[in-house]
């Protein structure tokens, strides 16, 4: 039930954000991966059902990405506001989204690995950590290929990097920080759960 509501909510939000994007080519390109991801979740809802918490976390991350795709990451208003507030050199909404990727998608990944593999405890956390870093790296590869195919003249001045020569490293570091925070939160929750059983069965070690 909640899954259907989340799915409908995402599709409506995605559609609304697609009505008048700042750059329609960028919007189409940015929508390929999330739609594939959502398709895989719908397709795998019986063979790999996730917890409600996981579906909500995934929905939260997809919302970030949809906003970024609508405004193109470099021109998201919230990012501009943050830029003025902290006196930053560039619009950091992309970095925020990279951090959100690590923060919000690590728990669903832990759930998948918990179900499919014999890995537990530290090994399970390590697997999720490395997988997240690898996905962040894969994203940078895809981004650079797209940038070189669509605007080869721009180099690092292209939209995604906004002139930052260490853009790929900064992005991957942001995702890694998000992942570490998510792992620490999960570990903390499991500790609490062990001390006071029944507090929140949704996030207990057994549920994971």
Partner 1 sequence: MSNRSTRDVPGRRYVAGLAALFAVIWLLLAIRPRHRADWALENALVILAVLVLTLAHRRFALSHLSYTLIFVFLCFQVIGAHYTYSEVPYDAWATALTGRSLNAALGWQRNNFDRIAHFAYGLLLAYPVREVVIRVTGLRGFWGYFLPMNLTISSSASYELIEWGAAVVFGGDLGIAYVGAQGDPWDAQKDMSLAALGAIVATAATAATHRWRSGRHDQLRASSPAG
- Nearer residue to partner 1 within complex by CB, 136 or 183: 136
The yes or no reply on residue 169 touching partner 1 (CB under 8 A) is yes
Instruction: Please list, residue by residue across 6-36, b when 16 or more beta carbons sit within 10 angstroms of its beta carbon and e when fewer do.
Output: bbeebeebbeebeeebebeebbebbbeebee
The yes or no reply on residue 118 touching partner 1 (CB under 8 A) is yes
> Alpha helices of the chain — where are they, by DSSP H?
2-17, 24-43, 52-71, 77-86, 93-116, 121-150, 167-195
The yes or no reply on residue 162 touching partner 1 (CB under 8 A) is no
- Give residue 91's Cα distance to chain centre: 18
- As a whole number of angstroms, the distance between CA 125 and CA 27 comes to 34
Q: How many residues bind partner 1 (CB under 8 A)?
A: 31
Report the residue from 138, 184, 200, 201 that binds partner 1 according to the rule CB under 8 A: 138
As given in the structure block, the two tokens for residue 26 are 């960028």
- As a whole number of angstroms, the distance between CA 50 and CA 104 comes to 14
The yes or no reply on residue 28 touching partner 1 (CB under 8 A) is no
Give yes or no for a contact between 192 and 199, defined as CB atoms under 8 angstroms apart: yes
Least distance (Å) from partner 1 to the CB of residue 8?
Answer: 28
Binding pattern for the stretch 97-116 against partner 1, x by CB under 8 A and - elsewhere: ----------------x--x
- Nearer residue to partner 1 within complex by CB, 85 or 122: 122
Report the residue from 162, 176, 190, 204 that binds partner 1 according to the rule CB under 8 A: 176
The yes or no reply on residue 24 touching partner 1 (CB under 8 A) is no
The yes or no reply on residue 135 touching partner 1 (CB under 8 A) is yes
- Nearer residue to partner 1 within complex by CB, 17 or 74: 74
Give yes or no for a contact between 103 and 77, defined as CB atoms under 8 angstroms apart: no
The yes or no reply on residue 15 touching partner 1 (CB under 8 A) is no
Give yes or no for a contact between 168 and 144, defined as CB atoms under 8 angstroms apart: yes
The yes or no reply on residue 173 touching partner 1 (CB under 8 A) is yes
Residues that bind partner 1 (CB under 8 A): 113, 116-119, 123, 127, 130-138, 140-141, 143-145, 148, 155-156, 165-166, 168-169, 172-173, 176
């Amino acid at each position: 039930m909640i899954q259907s509501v989340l799915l409908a909510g995402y599709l409506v939000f995605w559609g609304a954000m697609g009505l008048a994007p700042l750059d329609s080519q960028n919007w189409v390109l940015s929508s390929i991966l999330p739609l594939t991801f959502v398709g895989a979740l719908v397709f795998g809802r019986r063979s790999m059902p996730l917890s409600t918490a996981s579906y909500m976390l995934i929905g939260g991350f997809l919302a970030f990405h949809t906003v970024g795709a609508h405004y193109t990451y470099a021109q998201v208003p919230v990012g501009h506001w943050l830029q003025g507030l902290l006196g930053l050199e560039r619009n950091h909404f992309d970095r925020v989204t990279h951090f959100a990727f690590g923060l919000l998608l690590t728990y669903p990944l832990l759930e998948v690995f918990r179900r499919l593999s014999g890995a537990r405890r530290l090994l399970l956390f390590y697997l999720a950590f490395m997988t997240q870093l690898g996905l962040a790296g894969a994203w940078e590869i895809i981004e650079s290929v797209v940038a070189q195919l669509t605007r080869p003249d721009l180099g690092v001045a292209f939209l995604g990097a906004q002139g930052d020569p260490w853009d790929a490293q900064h992005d991957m570091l942001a995702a890694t920080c998000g992942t570490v925070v998510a792992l620490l939160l999960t570990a903390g929750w499991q500790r609490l759960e062990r001390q006071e059983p029944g507090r929140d069965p949704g996030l207990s070690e057994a549920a994971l």
